[in-house]
Amino acid sequence: MKIAISAFEKSANLHLRYLLPHLKYKPIGIFDKSLGDPLVDLQELAVMGFVDAAKKLPFFLQLKKEMVKLAKEADKVLLIDASGFNLPLAKAIKKEYPNKEIIYYILPQAWAWRRGRIKTIEKYVDKALSILPFEKKYYSPNYNIKYVGHPLLDEIKTFKETPTKSDKVVFMPGSRRAEIQSLMPIFKEVRKAIDKEALLVIPQNFDLTIYGDISDFTVTHDAHKALYEAEFGFICSGTATLEASLIGTPLALCYIAKPLDYFLAKQFAKIDRAGLANIMLGDMHPEFLQESVTKENLLQAYKNANPKEFLQKSKKLRQYLAHGSAAEAAREINA
Residue 244: inside a domain? yes
Q: How many CB atoms lie within 10 A of CB 309?
A: 12
Say yes or no: 246 and 137 in one domain.
no
Of residues 32, 90, 65, 154, the one with CA closest to residue 107 = 90
Say yes or no: 198 and 132 in one domain.
no
Which pLDDT tens digits describe the chain residue by residue (335 residues)? 999 999 988 889 999 999 999 999 999 999 999 999 998 877 655 554 444 555 677 888 899 999 999 999 999 999 999 898 999 999 999 999 999 999 999 999 887 777 889 999 999 999 999 999 999 999 999 999 999 999 999 999 999 999 999 999 999 999 888 899 999 999 999 999 999 999 999 988 888 999 999 999 999 999 999 999 999 999 999 899 999 999 999 999 999 876 655 555 555 555 567 789 999 998 899 999 988 999 999 999 999 999 999 999 999 999 999 999 999 999 999 99
Q: What is the CATH number of the domain that holds 66?
A: 3.40.50.11930
In 3-state terms, what secondary structure has residue 147?
A: strand
Say yes or no: 203 and 267 in one domain.
yes
Say yes or no: 290 and 222 in one domain.
yes
Residue 172: inside a domain? yes
Instruction: With beta carbons less than 8 A apart as the criterion, state whether 174 and 158 touch.
Output: no
Q: How many CB atoms lie within 10 A of CB 141?
A: 6
Domain that holds residue 307: 168-321
Say yes or no: 133 and 177 in one domain.
no
Residue 158: inside a domain? no
In sequence order, which residues have a C-beta less than 8 Å from that of residue 197 and are 6 or more positions away? Answer: 167, 168, 169, 218
Say yes or no: 176 and 270 in one domain.
yes
Dihedral sign for Cα 45, 243, 121, 18, please: positive
What does residue 263 show for φ and ψ, rounded to 5 degrees? -60, -45
Q: What is the CATH number of the domain that holds 259?
A: 3.40.50.2000
Say yes or no: 126 and 180 in one domain.
no
Domain tally for the chain?
2
Say yes or no: 225 and 287 in one domain.
yes
